[in-house]
Chain A
Amino acid sequence: MEKILTLDIKNLRLNFKGYEGIARVLDGVYIQGHKGERVGLVGETGCGKTVAMKSILGLIKSPPAIYETGEIWVNGKDILKISKKELMKLKGNEISMIFQDPLNSLNPVFTIGQQLFDIIRYGHKVKLTKREIREKARNILKLVRLPDPERILKNYPMQLSGGMRQRVLIAMALVNEPELLIADEPGTALDVTIQDQILELLKDLVLQKNICVLIITHNLGVIRGLANKVYIMYAGQVVEQGDTRDVFDNPQHPYTLGLMRSIPKLTGDIIGEGIPGTIPDYVNAPTGCRFHPRCKHKKDVCSEKRPVLKEIAPGHFVSCFLYEE
């Protein structure tokens, strides 16, 4: 069976012009997501994952941003090339988004129903009658396992709990049957038990609808539970990529290793030393591999040129000179 490529980011280099100079934020990022795949993008604060996500949605204004190279293909269209009008059509229909904070992404002065109806009305090419819209809204709320959809449509966001709001957001994102769903830190604002329920629901729905999801988070545990493919990002570069199981059971890049050792475990194993140093400044980013100033296995070559991506096991790629012999 041939896989359909839904999301394809190629060699994205994104710079921001500021007072101090040019900040090279994304340095050759690539991400691929096929239909039915759950792709995870992980990294620490400030590694560029949010910038990458925003550029998929065309939310980064240029200027100040400068796209040096790169293409972002969603469903056969290059986001960076198409007109604003086409992009508007794409958003909400083919691409949709679940934001991190369920409280701030719903409008507090409109009922859930009003907000949901709008999304359905504008997302459809054919004009729907009021009854059809209502029917659709009710069905989608049922799908995200919200009890009593009729009541929820009449409620204001403040009347719902955090978990319910997150469910409403998932419903809003899925109601127009998108091809690509972007989830930014899904459930991290919620308690563990609720987070677990939300992630389970998201996984079910994605499998059921057979769409591509891009999950952006700093929580490795969430990625392991939800994604089947993972990209590890450090300072605007993808350092490791592969099947979730391969990457988690057998991490190869020194950064991934350091990250995995830093996470407190349920087994109570003593956590490692952490990774020395901090994320670099993007204006004077380190040359070559951006991780080399913090790396234990640093060689001379690391600061001279960028390591190429190397396939160390089928489908498991690492960008590090340790594996380039």
Chain B
Amino acid sequence: MEKRLLSIKNLVKSFPIRGGLMRRVTGTIKAVEDISFDVFENEIFGLVGESGSGKSTIAKVITGMYRPTKGEVFYKGKEIKDLTKKDLNFLRREIQMVFQDPRSSLNPRRSVLSSLEDPLIIHKIGKSQYERRKIIGDLLEKVEMPRSYMYKYPSALSGGQRQRVALARALAVNPTLFLLDEPTSALDVAVQTKIINLLQKLREEMTLSYIFITHDLCLIRTIADRVAVMYLGKIFEMGSAVEMFRNPIHPYTKTLLSAVPVVSKEEEELKPKWEGKEGEPPSPVNPPPGCPFHPRCGIAEEGCSEKIPPITEVKKGYWVRCHLFPKKPENEKRKKGRKESLN
């Protein structure tokens, strides 16, 4: 059995809306709700969804930038909330994040060397400056850049090279889990390919796990092992990438897939028939009652606007949140409530 690295249980993160004279709390936005998933060792877990679906909120909760409102985040069996200060430092070494825009995530006034040296100093890796430079040189080689580039400034680097530096910086502290928030969406396709290939290589060499956040479904299909599709703060469908793209179950996943612009005939045939309705995602401040997707859903029934469907396991390791699936075994659906969660 694969080892579980990270597991999230019933996570809720909400933000207060302030308004009025005294900036009182007038309501809450539930950015993410009822999120449960596991990430296993050496796995690429993809999070997809449209903007505002809560993908980045999850990433921020995992890295500890946000505190969860409810629910638990376990890393290697320990709950993040209970960690001592020393453990937290360790956690920050273990989980690293790479951001979307390499232009703004690197300080333009610091050389590559000085950007990469910081994590080493903070986490006390390398005793002397000489040693640290050696480590940095090795890191640059790991991301397929010449050693001499450590003396350059970000302005002298291309977008792809900057993203490599950002990767090297994250690799500096020997992490095990990478959170990649749209790491290639600011890059051209040919450059994206190289970064993706590099990520694959690094994963094999260093036994890394990735949580890959993106809105590009084709990209997720190519690199992820398992995928979770999100809509308005909830996971709607989760399971192996191969299965989901061959046979999507949830009408929202189908809507998404049918909208992807593709470049070949074979892909065209893979696209499911559109089951949605024309429309836009509603605001998370006022989500529609019941299943949040029902106003755009082509096969919605009466019950859909009344109750939020629970996420249920339809196949082994394959989860769907829809009233209409699974259709038949009615009592089995009840037995496996969402409380039991993922096991």
- Residues of A whose CB lies within 8 Å of any CB of B are 44-45, 145, 161, 163-164, 191-197, 199, 218-222, 224-225, 248-249, 258-275, 278
Rounded to whole angstroms, the CA-CA distance of A224 and B242 in the bound complex is 24
- Interface residues in B224-267 by Cβ distance below 8 A to A read 241-242, 245, 255-267
- Show 17 residue pairs from A and B whose CB-CB distance is below 8 angstroms, ordered by the A residue: A163-B280, A164-B280, A191-B281, A260-B263, A262-B190, A262-B192, A263-B218, A264-B221, A264-B223, A265-B218, A266-B262, A266-B267, A268-B245, A273-B194, A273-B197, A274-B190, A274-B197
- The stretch among B76-84, B121-129, B270-278, B308-316 that forms the contact with chain A is B270-278
Verify if B13 is at the interface (C-beta below 8 Å from A). no
Rounded to whole angstroms, the CA-CA distance of A219 and B259 in the bound complex is 14
Rounded to whole angstroms, the CA-CA distance of A197 and B280 in the bound complex is 10
Tally A-B pairs: CB < 8 A.
124
A220 contacts B263, C-beta separation under 8 Å: yes
Rounded to whole angstroms, the CA-CA distance of A300 and B339 in the bound complex is 69
A221 contacts B260, C-beta separation under 8 Å: yes
Chain B 46-88 interface 0/1 with A at a Cβ cutoff of 8 Å (1 = within):
0000110000000000000000000000000000000000000
Q: How far is the CB of B221 from chain A (nearest CB, A)?
A: 5
- By a CB distance below 8 angstroms, the chain A residues around B217 are 192, 266
Q: How far is the CB of B274 from chain A (nearest CB, A)?
A: 9
Instruction: Name the one of B159, B160, B223, B259 contacting A195, with C-beta atoms under 8 angstroms.
Output: B259
- By a CB distance below 8 angstroms, the chain B residues around A278 are 158, 160, 191
- By a CB distance below 8 angstroms, the chain A residues around B194 are 273-274
A249 contacts B261, C-beta separation under 8 Å: no
Most buried by B among A194, A260, A262, A267: A267
B188 contacts A267, C-beta separation under 8 Å: no
Verify if B131 is at the interface (C-beta below 8 Å from A). no
Q: How far is the CB of B224 from chain A (nearest CB, A)?
A: 10
- By a CB distance below 8 angstroms, the chain A residues around B256 are 192-193
Rounded to whole angstroms, the CA-CA distance of A265 and B193 in the bound complex is 12
- By a CB distance below 8 angstroms, the chain B residues around A259 are 189-190
Verify if B219 is at the interface (C-beta below 8 Å from A). yes
B264 contacts A265, C-beta separation under 8 Å: yes
B270 contacts A266, C-beta separation under 8 Å: yes
**Chain A residue, CB-CB nearest to B191:** A274
Verify if B120 is at the interface (C-beta below 8 Å from A). no
**Chain A residue, CB-CB nearest to B194:** A274
Verify if B222 is at the interface (C-beta below 8 Å from A). yes
A44 contacts B188, C-beta separation under 8 Å: yes
- By a CB distance below 8 angstroms, the chain B residues around A261 are 193
Rounded to whole angstroms, the CA-CA distance of A218 and B197 in the bound complex is 21
A267 contacts B281, C-beta separation under 8 Å: no
Rounded to whole angstroms, the CA-CA distance of A199 and B258 in the bound complex is 13
Verify if B145 is at the interface (C-beta below 8 Å from A). no
B190 contacts A258, C-beta separation under 8 Å: yes
- By a CB distance below 8 angstroms, the chain A residues around B255 are 193
Q: How far is the CB of A200 from chain B (nearest CB, A)?
A: 9
B263 contacts A274, C-beta separation under 8 Å: no
A197 contacts B218, C-beta separation under 8 Å: no
B265 contacts A249, C-beta separation under 8 Å: yes
- Residues of B whose CB lies within 8 Å of any CB of A are 50-51, 158-160, 188-194, 196-197, 215-219, 221-223, 241-242, 245, 255-267, 270-271, 276, 278, 280-281
- By a CB distance below 8 angstroms, the chain B residues around A222 are 261
- By a CB distance below 8 angstroms, the chain B residues around A199 are 261
Instruction: Name the one of B190, B192, B260, B280 contacting A266, with C-beta atoms under 8 angstroms.
Output: B260
Rounded to whole angstroms, the CA-CA distance of A260 and B280 in the bound complex is 31
- By a CB distance below 8 angstroms, the chain B residues around A145 are 278
- By a CB distance below 8 angstroms, the chain B residues around A249 are 264-265
Q: How far is the CB of A262 from chain B (nearest CB, A)?
A: 4
Rounded to whole angstroms, the CA-CA distance of A249 and B258 in the bound complex is 20
A248 contacts B263, C-beta separation under 8 Å: yes
Q: How far is the CB of A261 from chain B (nearest CB, A)?
A: 8
Instruction: Name the one of B50, B189, B258, B266 contacting A44, with C-beta atoms under 8 angstroms.
Output: B189
- By a CB distance below 8 angstroms, the chain B residues around A248 are 263-264
Rounded to whole angstroms, the CA-CA distance of A147 and B94 in the bound complex is 50
A224 contacts B222, C-beta separation under 8 Å: no
**Chain A residue, CB-CB nearest to B224:** A268
- By a CB distance below 8 angstroms, the chain B residues around A196 are 258-259, 261
Q: How far is the CB of A107 from chain B (nearest CB, A)?
A: 23
Q: How far is the CB of A240 from chain B (nearest CB, A)?
A: 14
- By a CB distance below 8 angstroms, the chain A residues around B223 are 264
Given known A-B contacts A266-B218, A274-B191, A224 and B197 have beta carbons under 8 A apart: no
Rounded to whole angstroms, the CA-CA distance of A272 and B197 in the bound complex is 9
Rounded to whole angstroms, the CA-CA distance of A269 and B219 in the bound complex is 10
A218 contacts B270, C-beta separation under 8 Å: no
B276 contacts A193, C-beta separation under 8 Å: yes
**Chain A residue, CB-CB nearest to B252:** A193
Nearest 9 CB-CB pairs, A to B?
A221-B261, A196-B259, A274-B193, A191-B50, A264-B222, A262-B193, A264-B218, A266-B267, A275-B190
Q: How far is the CB of A24 from chain B (nearest CB, A)?
A: 20
- By a CB distance below 8 angstroms, the chain B residues around A264 are 192, 196, 216, 218-219, 221-223
- By a CB distance below 8 angstroms, the chain B residues around A266 are 217-218, 221, 245, 257, 260, 262, 267, 270-271
Q: How far is the CB of B324 from chain A (nearest CB, A)?
A: 20
- By a CB distance below 8 angstroms, the chain B residues around A267 are 221, 264, 266-267, 270
Rounded to whole angstroms, the CA-CA distance of A39 and B261 in the bound complex is 17
Rounded to whole angstroms, the CA-CA distance of A224 and B255 in the bound complex is 19
Rounded to whole angstroms, the CA-CA distance of A269 and B267 in the bound complex is 10
Rounded to whole angstroms, the CA-CA distance of A12 and B270 in the bound complex is 41
